[in-house]
Amino acid sequence: MIEKNLTFTDDAWVKIKNGVQQLNRAVACTLGPNGKTVILEDAQGRPHVTKDGITVAESLLFADPVENLAMSTVRQASKKTALRAGDGTTSSIVVSNAIIALTQRSRIGNVHIYKKGIHDAKDYVVELLKKTSKKLNKKDLLAVASISANNDENIGKLIAESYDKVGKDGVVAVEQSYNEDSYVTIKEGTKIDRGWATHHLVTDLNKREFVAQSPFIFICSTEIQSAQQILPILQYCAENTKQIIIVADTSEEFLATMILNNNRGKFKACVIKPAGIGYKRDELLEDLALMTGSKVFSEAQGNDFGQIDTSYLGMADKVVVSEGETVLFTTPKDQKKVKKLQKHIEDKLTDEKEADNEWHLRDRLSKLTGGVATVHVGASTEIEMKEKMDRVDDAISATRAAMKMGVVPGGGSTLIHIAKDMRMHLQDSKHHEMESSYLDGWDVMIKALAAPLTTILFNAGISDKKFSEVTKSIMGDTYQAGYNALTGELVDMYKEKILDPTAVTINVVENAVSVACELITTDCVVTNVRA
């Protein structure tokens, strides 16, 4: 057993705050239109210039184990923001740090009631964000894409063009261009709303992706317990030195075998767990099989592992598997059958009896019709390319989130307006009868909501004295009012198209509160003894 160090109470809290604060300082400088870049050194000593908060966060490792553990905890939560909504990792870290920095443990009467106050305040924020949200139009689409790409209008136009062609349910991917030009291509394809089963299968460690050219596709609705069950399939891959995408539930033993094979075998495999449950999952698997020219193996349908052969295999032109989703570039062999299925689903959507299945039917239809747009990113140098790719990834994700749930005024302004509403809510309600610890939780949440705007102003070179002036000006105006950090003016954020995806903002608040509250209630940190 590894020897452990224990850090308690005040000592632990000081180090937790320090760890989160250092993380915040590293990533906060990238926030907003005036955000700065960060130069990272990789394991080989090569530079990587980026303005992507999570890329910066993932590069950090602190000498103090407690500080490092606190930093890692917040970093992990911020990554959830990106996975769920595609963007907002930096803002999530900024708000988490604000809650922790504003918390004075020694003055809290009941930490659990204090925590409940923060959570209830968070719920109020989320409710107001949903009420404030507005649907996205084409001009808004361009604005969101451009802002998320660090105000790069050219990239914004390419992303807007991509979604215009494949629709809001289509897939937009990103690749390096073979020259300095950036452009968009459209290909047939589909996606799976699941990523790799384990990161040990990835082929691109930097991007945490499994990328396969012309791989075989094997789809199985029955759990695979061991490699022996599909040995003829795996042997065929080895003989042809082909990569394979396995869409199936699998045992840990099977996953371990695939990891071992990837490390020293003749071919590489990636395992993806199927999306959906019950009959909905079966339908999605059958749709995927149609798109890839494969057959679904199912013991429930009478298929036998003892008689499995290569006739179940399909193919795709290219597959990119990330942590959260899988994109397949593929042209169906039987176009007539695909069209027939599309028509069948469209007819079902008009049937009142299928009202409860509307979301599922639309999801199926989007995967059959959306296609895949690829933004090819060009740059002069490798360093520029990496930085630009980070921005395009963020912009695509943010745009997708905005299309699903709408937008709110950006630049941290919406959270400032909500903070004002929260204070009025406290005055008008019976909250004054609540315990002081509960009210302190609300107060900290209200103050923490100013953190994104304050950070943006700081990065724009605004003096501390002007912070309060700007904040008061915004709060004294309508919900649409905000600060344009590029021009230094108070503007109508909707008219200026300075917008944030609602889903991103909600996830920023929810994840920031979740991780901050866990750290606030921590009284002991157990770490491994270092040599």
pLDDT band at 59; cut points 50, 70, 90 = very high
Span 10-25, average pLDDT: 96
Q: How far, in Å, are 118, 125, 427, 474 from residue 439 at the CA level?
A: 9, 15, 11, 25
Residue 499: Cβ within 10 Å count: 26
Query: Residue 430 above 80 pLDDT?
Result: no
Among 32-36, 72-76, 385-389, which stretch is predicted with the lowest mean pLDDT? 385-389
Give this prediction's pTM.
0.75
Q: Which residues pair with 269 in a beta bridge?
A: 244
Question: Which element (helix H / strand E) includes 389?
Answer: helix 382-405
Q: Look at residue 432 in the predicted model and tell me its pLDDT.
A: 64
Check residue 167 and give left, alpha or beta (phi > 0: left; psi -120 to 50: alpha). Answer: left
Query: Residue 278 above 80 pLDDT?
Result: yes
Homologous superfamily of the 4-134+408-528 domain (CATH):
GroEL-like equatorial domain (1.10.560.10)
Q: How far, in Å, are 224, 244, 329, 384, 410 from residue 219 at the CA level?
A: 11, 11, 16, 39, 43
Among 71-80, 394-403, 445-454, 480-489, which stretch is predicted with the lowest mean pLDDT? 394-403
Among 268-277, 438-447, 465-474, which stretch is predicted with the lowest mean pLDDT? 465-474
Span 390-403, average pLDDT: 86
CA distance linking residue 528 with residue 519, whole number of Å: 19
Of 5, 32, 56, which Cα lies nearest the Cα of 387? 56
Of 312, 316, 127, which Cα lies nearest the Cα of 210? 316
Query: Residue 155 above 70 pLDDT?
Result: yes
Cα 368 to its chain centre, rounded Å, is: 24
Among 6-15, 269-278, 466-475, which stretch is predicted with the lowest mean pLDDT? 466-475
Helices 65-85 & 89-102, crossing angle to 10 degrees?
130
- State both tokens at 506: 């909600």
Mean pLDDT of the chain: 91
Among 193-197, 348-352, 514-518, which stretch is predicted with the lowest mean pLDDT? 348-352
DSSP secondary structure code for residue 169 in this structure: T
pLDDT one-digit tens code per residue, 291-332: 999 999 999 999 999 999 999 999 999 999 998 889 999 999
Q: Look at residue 313 in the predicted model and tell me its pLDDT.
A: 97
CA distance linking residue 422 with residue 330, whole number of Å: 50
Describe the chain by its helix, strand, coil percentages, rounded to 5: 55, 15, 30
CA distance linking residue 361 with residue 355, whole number of Å: 10
Tell which wins on pLDDT, 121 or 387. 121
CA distance linking residue 17 with residue 23, whole number of Å: 10
Angle at Cα 248 formed by Cα 247 and Cα 251, nearest 5°? 135
Query: Residue 86 above 70 pLDDT?
Result: no
- State both tokens at 76: 């992990």
Tell which wins on pLDDT, 432 or 226. 226
- State both tokens at 116: 């409940």
Burial of residue 384 (number of CB atoms within 10 Å: 0-12, 13-18, 19+):
middle
Question: Which element (helix H / strand E) includes 318?
Answer: strand 318-321
pLDDT over 90 percentage in the chain = 65
Tell which wins on pLDDT, 431 or 65. 65
pLDDT band at 448; cut points 50, 70, 90 = very high
Query: Residue 441 above 80 pLDDT?
Result: yes
Tell which wins on pLDDT, 40 or 1. 40
Q: Which residues pair with 80 in a beta bridge?
A: none
Residue 475: Cβ within 10 Å count: 16
Among 7-16, 20-29, 202-211, which stretch is predicted with the lowest mean pLDDT? 202-211
Q: Look at residue 310 in the predicted model and tell me its pLDDT.
A: 96
Burial of residue 529 (number of CB atoms within 10 Å: 0-12, 13-18, 19+):
exposed
Q: How far, in Å, are 10, 97, 431, 448 from residue 519 at the CA level?
A: 13, 11, 25, 16
DSSP secondary structure code for residue 273 in this structure: P
Kindly give, in sequence order, each residue whose CB lies less than 8 Å from that of residue 64, ignoring residues fewer than 6 positions away.
15, 18, 19
Query: Residue 229 above 90 pLDDT?
Result: yes
pLDDT band at 81; cut points 50, 70, 90 = confident
CA distance linking residue 131 with residue 379, whole number of Å: 41
Span 236-245, average pLDDT: 94
- State both tokens at 502: 């609602």
Q: Which residues pair with 50 in a beta bridge?
A: 38
- State both tokens at 258: 């695939």
Domain chopping of the chain, boundaries: 4-134+408-528, 190-333
CA distance linking residue 25 with residue 493, whole number of Å: 27
Among 141-145, 417-421, 510-514, which stretch is predicted with the lowest mean pLDDT? 141-145
Query: Residue 137 above 90 pLDDT?
Result: no
Count of CA atoms in the C-beta half-sphere (13 A) of 280:
13
Span 153-160, average pLDDT: 91
Count of CA atoms in the C-beta half-sphere (13 A) of 121:
35
pLDDT over 70 percentage in the chain = 98
Of 377, 364, 36, 403, which Cα lies nearest the Cα of 176? 377
pLDDT one-digit tens code per residue, 327-358: 999 999 899 999 999 999 988 888 888 878 88
CATH code, 190-333: 3.50.7.10
**Residues across the chain:** 531
DSSP 222-268: SPB--GGGGHHHHHHHHHTT--EEEES-B-HHHHHHHHHHHHHSSS-
Q: Which residues pair with 472 in a beta bridge?
A: none
Residue 53: Cβ within 10 Å count: 31
pLDDT band at 508; cut points 50, 70, 90 = very high
- State both tokens at 472: 């008061």
The 3-state DSSP class for residue 165 equals helix
Query: Residue 85 above 80 pLDDT?
Result: no
Burial string for 252-261 (b: 16+ CB within 10 Å, else e) reads: eebbebbeeb
Span 147-164, average pLDDT: 88
CA distance linking residue 324 with residue 364, whole number of Å: 18
